[in-house]
Structure 1
Amino acid sequence: MKAVRSFTASEQELEMLEAVAQYHGFSKSSTITNLLKKEFWRIFPGGTEAVQPQAGARIAGQEPVVDGES
């Protein structure tokens, strides 16, 4: 089942989202998700306590993550 989410944005921000989504050929939802993931990993390259890198992820200055290791 899909969870319904909502957010507040100005008309200009919605137009910006539409333009970026169209440029990449993604839906607006996918565009938001991809931008969020990119920003999250930029800020937290090693993840957080709640969100760990996936197995095999490359983290700058570290060896690739192996299942069960952090």
Structure 2
Amino acid sequence: MVVRTRIKLGLIFSALALIGGLALFFYETYNGRGGFWLFNLIKRISIGGCLLTYFILAWKHGK
């Protein structure tokens, strides 16, 4: 029970990290700072994607 709650929280936080990263990417791109836009997009998605992948694997392993 505790493990499932922890995994659900992890999924929520990783989704928030992905959404927040994308929002930050669009904000930086719109304001014209933050360097090359494609690099920033890859950076933001990879951070959120790594967290999401970790929690999906943990969830499958915990089943």
- TM-score, structure 2 as length reference: 0.32
Higher RCO (C-alpha 8 Å, min separation 6):
2
